[in-house]
Each structure stands twice: as structure tokens, then as C-alpha cells.
């Protein structure tokens, strides 16, 4: 039975190497949970390892690693209190230009990996009447230009969360969605670098069509991250969702998420299109983009 105390219970946090995942693992351990913190590399685990935090090598797209985690939990007498599905990647590019391999990679990590680990651990969560915490995004309700793959996976995660909640809530398992806005983590910086790398591979015609847009979105992403909340604040919201006896179905993180998700709920599509274009207007480059992206292309091919 889920309780408000973590003593004697296990929580799994995926994507715990840095950012929100690492902060969540540390916060949960301070509340008495034993955290199985999923990391991709042993070095990340060494940095994270502490009292109450047990790093485990976990790529959620690798079935053998997911099964190894399930075996680790099955061998432990402590109940599984919660699964925090936090692992994710950010890959941005216009729908026309983003390679299909990147679309599949984004959905594999940001959606199918979460479904796979949830399926695997759900029997343990049903026994303990625990909960699933899915880390979505403001992009799960509002898709900016170049966010087609990322937002598409997050939209789908929101739908899967709704379906799962209606399936397992009568069985005693809570399903909660966390919707962060701008958060100061390394993920956004990596996303900008990936977007630039992919933009450098566009054809000259595609560069003419989308070069300025890509730069504007990257600039907006940089500014939004710089002004965003800390990963520690996001972790506090996740801990609340983990520990509250009767949690809400969704929690936003940051004022930007609360405002934009509310607007997405009430404004018509054309109004949202206008807001999106206006938010990007000041971020568009004042000089032609062809030279900039051509220099990036040279760097990629060299």
C-alpha cells in the first residue's frame, strides 16, 4: 500500500545521470526511499552513488537491461513504491528534414522505452499498490516548430498515461504526469547542439526554407533554459507526486508550463500559431542564415 513515507520502499528513477533525474534520486533518498537510479555509464553511477541511492546500468531501450532491473527488484524484500519514467532525449528539426532514423530514436527513448519498463515493473507495482510517474513536458500539450518528433512522443506519452491510469487506478495503482516547462539542465544544451548538427545536413533549398527558423528556435530554447527553474525545484514536484497519498493526475513545473498549457487548452489553433510566431520573432537572425549553416556543414563533413 502506498504511504507518505519512503522508509523500507524502493523507487526506480530512469535517466538519473544528470538534471531532473539526478536531483529526484537525491531528493527521494533524503525522504527515506531506496532509489534504484538508472544511468547509462558506470562513471555517472559513481558520481551519483550515496546512502539510499543505488546506481544501476539502465538503457530503457535495451530489453536485457530492463529485465535485469526487474530481477534486481524481485530479489529484494522491499516493495516497489514508484517508477519515475524520466529518461529522455531531445532531437529537434523540421518535419521535412529530420531523418526517419531520428524520428524512430526519439520515439524509442521517449515513448516505447517507458512503455517497456512500465510493462515489466507493473506486476510489482500492482502488488504494492504503487504508482507510475511519467515525466512529460509542456511539449506534450503544445508543439513548437521543429519539435515535431519530441512533442509527438510526449503527446503520445500523455495519451498512454491516460489509458494506463484508467486501466490500473481501479487496481490501486496511481498514474501521474509531470509537465515541466523550462528547466536549467544539460538536456536543452545537448538538444541545441543536435539541432545544429542536423541543420548542417539540410540541402540548400531546405536551408533557405528553415535555416532562420532553426536558429530562432535554438535561441528561444537557450533563453528559456537560462530563465527556467532549477532541477531541484522540478524534483520537489516529482517527490510530491511520489509521496502524496492521493496525487493529482497532472502537475506542472514552472510558471511557463502552467500558463502555456492553460492557453493550449482554451485558445484556437490559429491563435496558438500566432503566439508561437510572435515568440520566435525576436530570435530570428538579423543576417542571412545560409552562411552560418554552410559553415556548420563544413564542420560536419570535415
pLDDT tens for 40-77 read 999 999 999 999 999 999 999 999 999 999 999 999 99
Cell 539542465, residue? Answer: 185
User: Going edge to edge, which strands form the sheet with 250-253?
Assistant: 53-57, 34-39, 10-13, 80-85, 131-135, 174-180, 250-253
Burial of 61 (0-12, 13-18, 19+ CB in 10 A): middle
If one compares 227 and 176, the residue with the highest pLDDT of the two is 176
Query: pLDDT of 127-182, one tens digit each?
Result: 999 999 999 999 999 999 999 999 999 999 999 999 999 999 999 999 999 999 98
Q: What CATH architecture is 10-301? A: 3-Layer(aba) Sandwich (3.40)
Whether 121 contacts 83, CB under 8 Å: yes
Q: What is the DSSP letter of 132?
A: E
SS3 content of the chain, % helix, strand, coil (to 5): 60, 15, 30
Across 60-139, the runs of DSSP E, i.e. the strands, are 80-85, 131-135
Residue 133's SS3 state is strand
CA–CA gap between residue 285 and residue 281 (Å, rounded)? 9
Among 58, 168, 48, 203, which Cα is nearest to 116's? 58
Annotated catalytic sites, by residue?
A: 150
Q: What is the DSSP letter of 139?
A: G
Checking 156-161 for CB contacts under 8 A at 24+ apart, the result is 156/107, 156/111, 157/110, 157/111, 157/114, 160/111, 160/114, 160/115, 160/134, 161/132, 161/134, 161/136
> Rounded to two decimals, what is the model's pTM?
0.89
| Helix ranges restricted to H, 169-254 | 186-199, 204-226, 231-243
Across the chain, the runs of DSSP E, i.e. the strands, are 10-13, 34-39, 53-57, 80-85, 131-135, 174-180, 250-253
Q: Where are the domains of the chain?
A: 10-301
Query: pLDDT of 273-299, one tens digit each?
Result: 999 999 999 899 876 554 445 444 444
Mean pLDDT, residues 25-29: 97
The pLDDT confidence band at residue 233, using thresholds 50, 70 and 90, is very high
Among 77, 191, 64, which Cα is nearest to 117's? 64
pLDDT, position 287 = 63
Residue 12's SS3 state is strand
Amino acid at each position: 500500500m502506498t504511504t507518505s513515507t519512503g522508509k523500507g520502499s524502493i523507487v526506480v528513477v530512469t535517466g538519473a545521470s544528470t538534471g531532473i533525474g539526478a536531483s529526484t534520486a537525491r531528493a527521494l533518498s533524503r525522504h527515506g526511499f531506496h532509489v534504484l537510479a538508472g544511468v547509462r555509464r558506470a562513471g555517472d553511477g559513481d558520481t551519483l552513488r550515496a546512502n539510499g541511492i543505488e546506481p544501476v546500468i539502465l538503457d530503457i531501450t535495451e530489453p536485457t537491461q530492463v529485465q535485469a532491473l526487474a530481477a534486481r527488484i524481485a530479489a529484494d524484500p522491499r516493495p516497489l513504491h514508484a517508477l519515475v519514467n524520466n529518461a529522455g532525449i531531445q532531437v529537434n528539426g523540421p518535419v521535412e528534414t529530420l531523418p526517419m532514423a531520428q524520428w524512430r530514436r526519439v520515439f524509442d527513448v521517449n515513448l516505447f522505452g517507458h512503455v517497456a519498463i512500465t510493462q515489466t515493473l507493473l506486476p510489482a507495482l500492482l502488488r504494492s499498490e504503487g504508482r507510475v510517474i511519467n515525466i512529460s513536458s509542456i511539449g506534450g500539450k503544445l508543439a513548437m516548430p521543429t519539435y515535431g518528433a519530441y512533442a509527438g512522443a510526449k503527446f503520445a506519452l500523455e495519451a498512454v498515461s491516460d489509458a494506463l491510469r484508467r486501466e490500473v487506478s481501479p487496481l490501486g495503482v496511481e498514474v501521474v504526469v509531470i509537465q515541466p516547462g523550462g528547466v536549467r539542465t544539460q538536456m536543452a544544451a545537448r538538444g541545441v547542439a543536435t539541432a545544429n548538427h542536423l541543420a548542417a545536413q539540410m540541402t540548400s533549398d531546405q536551408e533557405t526554407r528553415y535555416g532562420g527558423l532553426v536558429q530562432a528556435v535554438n535561441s528561444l530554447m537557450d533563453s528559456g533554459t537560462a530563465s527556467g527553474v532549477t532541477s531541484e525545484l522540478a524534483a520537489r514536484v516529482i517527490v510530491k507526486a511520489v509521496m502524496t497519498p492521493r496525487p493529482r493526475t497532472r502537475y506542472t513545473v514552472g510558471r511557463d508550463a502552467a500558463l502555456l498549457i492553460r492557453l493550449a487548452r482554451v485558445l484556437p489553433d490559429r491563435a496558438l500559431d500566432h503566439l508561437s510566431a510572435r515568440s520566435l520573432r525576436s530570435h530570428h537572425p538579423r543576417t542571412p542564415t545560409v552562411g552560418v549553416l554552410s559553415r556548420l556543414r563544413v564542420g560536419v563533413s570535415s
